């Protein structure tokens, strides 16, 4: 088999890269180890930055997002039992966020690729990549394949094969946080029209949503928390306590614990292999940056590949350094939000007072509120 760009990973990053290349007349093959149903039902992030929303429009796939997504012009920081709204749109010239699940983005991208009759292989196995003589080996439906190409895009996530292939040339920067998020999905109207980030001496809490009838709630917990120890009633009671108000309740149909980690590798490229999304970096979910940073990666990578086929390989050569500028800005914002809102093991009253002071300054200072808003709605994607 032969193509111009081999894309390893059929999640949002890989599929969006394929779409961007398609619109530029560049051939690609996408391979994914999971089946289509699993990929389309895999619930992950649900907050789209303004630039991600604009990108969905740019590639012609924004219609359902606009029809079903929930646009938010602000978020609430809640502490000491009181809520304080950060007016995102007012502070950023009209930019906003949209609640639209990652799985919905994936559905839109898969449907578009299938409609274009472009190669998309699910349930592949035995994947290996060769960055030097660029090629990808894999097995699909019992048949072994060798896919020769000019460029390999490693969009196969944190547990994929691409990053380990070049592990010897990578420097790893990592931080494990001493807590996780106990998350639930429940059949009930969200408790607020916008997201609520709550600071409490017992730990952080987040009120989010998936739709006007499905709410998403999180509680800070131990990283190895057993959800079996939490009854529905105990979860609702703890949410009430941390928010300092009664939240809407309903039937809980999903529970799980999300670990908290920061992870970056440098460089994000070696020879003809280019890493994007979770294959190269992970952020704690506090700042809602994972999906959006992956989209920024592939936007930059697609423009670099386009220039490469136009005879200019300087953009591809600079891909890692340019991508990492945004990655580290995102890492800092996510760390800052996490540190301000969570209670760390061993924290004393002194640390609690520092967090409360930072929160008060954030909601009372126009400059600090603007900094939060700009980072939260996200900076524009760069093309070079």
| pLDDT tens sequence across 298-345 | 999 999 999 999 999 999 999 999 999 999 999 999 999 999 999 998
- Is residue 186 domain-shared with residue 331, that is, in the same domain? no
- Is residue 153 domain-shared with residue 181, that is, in the same domain? no
**What single-letter DSSP state applies at residue 318?**
T
| pLDDT tens sequence across 256-265 | 999 899 999 9
- Is residue 153 domain-shared with residue 189, that is, in the same domain? no
- Is residue 203 domain-shared with residue 330, that is, in the same domain? no
Handedness of CA 14, 20, 22, 25 (dihedral sign): negative
Residue 18 near residue 165 (C-beta atoms within 8 A) = no
pLDDT (0 to 100) of residue 235:
97
- Is residue 29 domain-shared with residue 149, that is, in the same domain? yes
- Is residue 40 domain-shared with residue 117, that is, in the same domain? yes
- Is residue 212 domain-shared with residue 225, that is, in the same domain? yes
Respond yes or no: is residue 289 known to be catalytic: yes
Query: CA nearest 54: which of 381, 293, 319?
Result: 381
- Is residue 166 domain-shared with residue 278, that is, in the same domain? yes
Respond yes or no: is residue 342 known to be catalytic: no
pLDDT (0 to 100) of residue 346:
80
Q: Report the CATH number at residue 202.
A: 3.30.9.10
Q: Do the bridges between strand 151-154 and strand 273-275 make them parallel or antiparallel, or are there none, so unpaired?
A: parallel
In a domain, 54, yes or no: no
pLDDT (0 to 100) of residue 41:
82
In a domain, 322, yes or no: yes
Catalytic site residue from 12, 100, 131, 197: 197
Catalytic site residue from 12, 72, 100, 303: 72
* Structural domain containing residue 35: 5-46+101-170+267-343
In a domain, 26, yes or no: yes
Respond yes or no: is residue 177 known to be catalytic: no
- Is residue 124 domain-shared with residue 255, that is, in the same domain? no
- Is residue 38 domain-shared with residue 120, that is, in the same domain? yes
**123: region left, alpha or beta (phi > 0 left; psi from -120 to 50 alpha):** left
In a domain, 249, yes or no: yes
Could you list the beta-strand ranges (E) of the chain: 5-8, 28-31, 47-48, 70-72, 75-79, 82-86, 97-99, 120-121, 124-130, 135-140, 143-148, 151-154, 171-187, 196-198, 205-211, 214-221, 251-266, 269-270, 273-275, 281-282
Dig out the tokens for 87 from the structure: 């007016």
In a domain, 382, yes or no: no
pLDDT in 10s for each residue of the chain, 384 residues: 999 999 999 999 999 999 999 999 999 999 999 999 998 887 666 899 999 999 999 999 999 999 999 999 999 999 998 999 999 999 999 999 999 989 999 999 999 999 999 999 999 999 999 999 999 999 999 999 999 999 999 999 999 999 999 999 999 999 999 999 999 999 999 999 999 999 999 999 999 998 899 999 999 999 999 999 999 999 999 999 999 999 999 999 999 999 899 999 999 999 999 999 999 999 999 988 999 999 999 999 999 999 999 999 999 999 999 999 999 999 999 999 999 999 998 888 999 999 999 999 999 999 999 999 999 999 999 998
Catalytic site residue from 200, 285, 303, 342: 285
Respond yes or no: is residue 121 known to be catalytic: no
Distances (CA, A) of 130 to 6, 115, 320: 11, 30, 19
Catalytic site residue from 289, 299, 303, 319: 289
Number of domains observed in the structure of the chain: 2
Catalytic site residue from 177, 218, 274, 376: 376
pLDDT (0 to 100) of residue 40:
87
- Is residue 114 domain-shared with residue 33, that is, in the same domain? yes
Dig out the tokens for 351 from the structure: 């640390």
Respond yes or no: is residue 197 known to be catalytic: yes
pLDDT (0 to 100) of residue 312:
97
Residue 166 near residue 265 (C-beta atoms within 8 A) = no
pLDDT (0 to 100) of residue 210:
87
Q: 3-state class of 233 per DSSP? A: helix
- Is residue 113 domain-shared with residue 41, that is, in the same domain? yes
In a domain, 156, yes or no: yes
Give CA–CA dist 122/318, Å, rounded: 31
Final residue of a structural domain among 260, 280, 313: 260
Residue 190 near residue 268 (C-beta atoms within 8 A) = no
């Amino acid at each position: 088999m032969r193509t111009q760009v081999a894309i390893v990973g059929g999640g949002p990053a890989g599929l969006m890269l394929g779409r961007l290349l398609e619109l530029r007349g560049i051939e690609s093959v996408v391979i994914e180890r999971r089946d289509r149903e699993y990929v389309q039902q895999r619930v992950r992030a649900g907050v789209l930055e303004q630039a991600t929303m604009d990108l969905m429009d740019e590639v012609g796939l924004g219609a359902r997002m606009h029809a079903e997504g929930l646009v938010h012009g602000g978020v609430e920081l809640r502490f000491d039992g009181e809520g304080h709204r950060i007016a995102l749109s007012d502070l950023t010239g009209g930019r906003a966020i949209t609640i639209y699940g990652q799985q919905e983005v994936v559905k839109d991208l898969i449907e578009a690729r299938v409609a274009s009759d472009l190669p998309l292989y699910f349930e592949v196995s035995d994947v290996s990549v060769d960055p030097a003589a660029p090629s990808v080996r894999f097995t699909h439906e019992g048949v072994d394949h060798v896919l020769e190409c000019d460029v390999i895009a490693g969009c196969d996530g944190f547990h994929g094969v691409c990053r380990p292939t070049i592990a010897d040339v990578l420097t790893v920067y990592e931080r494990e946080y001493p807590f996780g998020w106990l998350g639930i999905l429940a059949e009930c109207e969200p408790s607020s029209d916008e997201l609520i980030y709550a600071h409490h001496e017992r730990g952080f809490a987040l009120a989010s949503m998936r739709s006007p009838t499905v709410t998403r709630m999180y509680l800070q917990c131990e990283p190895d928390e057993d959800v079996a120890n939490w009854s529905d009633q105990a979860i609702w009671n703890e949410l009430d306590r941390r928010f300092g108000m009664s939240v809407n309740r309903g039937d809980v149909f999903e529970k799980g614990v999300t670990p908290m980690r920061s992870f970056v590798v440098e460089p994000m490229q070696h020879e003809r292999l280019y890493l994007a999304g979770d294959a190269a970096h992970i952020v704690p979910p506090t700042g809602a940056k994972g999906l959006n940073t992956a989209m920024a990666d592939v936007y930059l990578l697609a423009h670099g590949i386009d220039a490469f086929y136009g005879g200019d390989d300087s953009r591809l050569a600079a891909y890692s350094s340019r991508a990492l500028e945004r990655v580290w800005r995102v890492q800092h914002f996510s760390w800052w939000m996490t540190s301000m809102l969570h209670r760390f093991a061993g924290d004393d009253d002194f640390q609690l007072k520092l967090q409360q002071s930072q929160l008060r300054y954030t909601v009372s200072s126009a400059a600090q509120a603007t900094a939060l808003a700009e980072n939260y709605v996200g900076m524009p994607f760069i093309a070079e």
